[in-house]
Amino acid sequence: MSLHKVTLHVPPKTKLSGRLDVLMMVSGFLLAVFVGMHMLFVGTVILSPRLMDALAWFFEELYLVQIGGPLILLVMVGHFILGARKMPFRQKEFIAFRTHTGMMRHTDTTLWLVQVATAIIVLIMASIHIYVMLDTLPITATKSAVRIQYGNWLPFYVVLLAAVAVHIIIGLYRLGVKLAVITRKNRPKARKLLLYVLAATAVVSLLTHLRLSLMTV
């Protein structure tokens, strides 16, 4: 198969597609900021369940959860649709993409395939999660602990966290490369930094779940 043939699935660049790319980058960055803040918010339970309750009360009093929840879902769906423009959904496109990846042996192209898989997992699981959260308001540390201890939600969160963390880290890396913040020279350093962020997220999440599992309910 010629290189020309296998790259046919890539849509041609237009002014509109450039603008949609910017929109995708901005929405992705905002979602990453949200998830980071969300992890810190839920992580306050490590310090004190009462602190988590107080923060949840504060956000709900301001309707930030009731309005923010559906808004985040909307931004997430929009971000997915913007990304889906480039996803190799059809079998022919997928085979062409795989051949292309194999021929180039290009890490960044392989990372993009991981982006596609994690995007689908996050979209489905985060939609379920947001629905459950909004359906069982108000948020309290005790309710979260009950879900973990008696509701069998732990495996769900492990998969969601792994998918969302990998998706965000790769997304930030690709964004850094596109904006030339990450250059050939500082690339190894940037990769290391992002891996540290990934490890820190895993540690905070582990401690959060440990705290929720050990809470008296």
User: Using omega within 30 degrees of 0 as the cis cutoff, is the peptide bond preceding 11 cis?
Assistant: no
Q: Which of 24, 87, 160, 169 binds ligand HEM (CB under 6 A)?
A: 160
| Residue 118 touches ligand HEM, criterion: CB under 6 A | no
CA dist 83 and 23 (Å) reads: 10
CA dist 209 and 212 (Å) reads: 5
Please indicate if the annotation marks 79 as binding a ligand: yes
Of 58 and 90, nearer to ligand HEM (C-beta) is 58
Stretch that binds ligand HEM, among 93-101, 105-113, 160-168, 187-195 (CB under 6 A): 160-168
Side chain identity at 150, as an amino acid letter? Answer: Y
Please indicate if the annotation marks 129 as binding a ligand: yes
Cβ-contact 126, 164 below 8 angstroms: yes
| Residue 133 touches ligand HEM, criterion: CB under 6 A | yes
Side chain identity at 2, as an amino acid letter? Answer: S
Please indicate if the annotation marks 9 as binding a ligand: no
CA dihedral 212, 143, 31, 125 (to 10 degrees): 90
Segment 165-204, which members bind ligand HEM (CB under 6 A)?
none
Segment 41-100, which members bind ligand HEM (CB under 6 A)?
42, 65, 68-69, 72
Cβ-contact 206, 157 below 8 angstroms: no
Q: How far is the CB of 97 from ligand HEM (least distance, A)?
A: 25
Q: Which of 122, 166, 169, 182 binds ligand HEM (CB under 6 A)?
A: 122
Q: What sections of 48-178 are H helices per DSSP? A: 49-61, 64-84, 91-104, 107-135, 141-150, 154-178
Q: How far is the CB of 107 from ligand HEM (least distance, A)?
A: 25
Place of tokens 């990998």: 166
Q: How far is the CB of 205 from ligand HEM (least distance, A)?
A: 3
| Residue 38 touches ligand HEM, criterion: CB under 6 A | yes
Of 34 and 94, nearer to ligand HEM (C-beta) is 34
**Other CB atoms closer than 10 Å to residue 173's CB: what's the count?**
19
Look up residue 96 and give its two tokens: 């062409």
Q: Which residues bind ligand HEM (CB under 6 A)?
A: 35, 38-39, 42, 65, 68-69, 72, 122, 126, 129-130, 133, 139, 144, 147, 153, 157, 160-161, 164, 205, 208
